[in-house]
Amino acid sequence: MNATLVASTNSTIVRAKNSVWSPVRTYFAIVSRLVPDLARRQAERLFTMPPRYAGRAQLAIDARRETVVAGKHTLAVWQAGPAGAPGVLLVHGWGGRGVQLASFAPPLVASGCRVVWFDQPGHGESGRSHVGLPDFARALEALAATHGPFEVAIGHSLGAAAIGLAMRGGLRFGRAVFVSPPASIGEHTRKFARLLGITPAIRDAMRQRLEHRYGIRFAEIDRIDELNELRLPVLFVHDDGDIDVPFENTLRLSARMPGARLIKTYGLGHHRLLRDHAVVRAIVDFARGDDEDLPTELPVLPRPAPMY
C-alpha cells in the first residue's frame, strides 16, 4: 500500500472534519465562557444522541422480527436459523444498525447457526433517544435472557466495548469477536471535548452527570485489566489505518486477554472491514471453531521474490 497515498487521504479526511466542526467549536467556545451550564447540557445531549444511520437497510436473508424490553428501551430484534442451533449474537456500534453486520448472517446460518441481531437502544427501529454504553450492555443482558444462550458474540466498535463490559459484569459467551473496539470511554470523552472545544471543567461536569445517571463511573468502565480474568477464545480484528478508533486500542485490549488472536487489516478503515469477504470468512471460521489457519493480516500481501 502506498504510504503517501494513505497519508494524503487521511489528511483530506481530517481537514474535511475540521471544516464541519469549526463553527461548532466557535459556538461552544463562546457559550462555555458566558453560560457554562448551557454548554454542559448541550454537550451532554450531543454526546448521548446517536447519529442517524445512513448505510444499507436491507438484509438478504429471511428473518423473524421480534421485540425485547431492555430497561426503558424496546429493542427491535431479528433472528434467523433453526431455533435449537448454536446462537450467535451480532452487536453493532454507535450510529449503526443491526443490518450493518448483515454480511455475517448468511454464512453463519448456512453453517448451522442461529443468528440474532438487533438495533441498539436509540438506534434504528429501537427508537430515537439519548443513550450511553451502559444501555448497550444492558441490551445484551436482556437479549441473553430472551434469546440466549449464545455460543458466540461478534461486536463492532462500541458494540464490541459493550460485549466486554457485559462479560466483565458476568455475561458469558463461548467465544467473542471484537471488531475495531475502543479501549477507553474516558479517552473518547476527552476526544469529544476537544472536537467541540469545551473546557475540561465542562467536560468533567458532563461526565459526572452521566456517571450519576447510569450509576457507574467512567473509571470503572475503563478497568480493562479485568479482561484478564475472562477465559474464552477471543479474536480481535482492526484496521491499521482506522481513524475513528485507532489500531492501538486493539493492541491494549488484546494484551490483557490471554490467548487472544489478532487480525490486522489494511485499507478497510472503521466500517468497510464489516463487508470485506476475506474478513467475514475469517470471523465466521473463528465463530465455528475452525481457527487453526486464521491469517494475521488481511489482505494477505504477496511476499517479494527472493533475490539470488
Burial 175-200 (b: 16+ CB within 10 A, else e): bbbbbbbbbbbeebbeeebeebbbbe
Q: Nearest Cα to 88, choosing from 61, 106, 70, 66? A: 106
DSSP assignment letter at 131: -
For residue 3, the model assigns a pLDDT of: 38
CA–CA distance, 163 with 161 (Å, rounded to integer): 5
Write down the pLDDT at residue 56. 73
Beta strands in 131-248 (DSSP E): 152-156, 175-179, 234-239
Where the chain has pLDDT below 50, the residues are 1-16
Give me the domains of the chain, ranges plus CATH numbers.
3-298 (3.40.50.1820)
- Which residues, other chains included, contact 274 with Cβ-Cβ below 8 Å and sequence gap of 6+? 100, 101, 103, 156, 179, 280
pTM over 0.85: yes
Which residues does residue 89 pair with via DSSP β-bridges, in sequence order?
116, 153
Q: What is the predicted pLDDT for the residue at 9?
A: 37
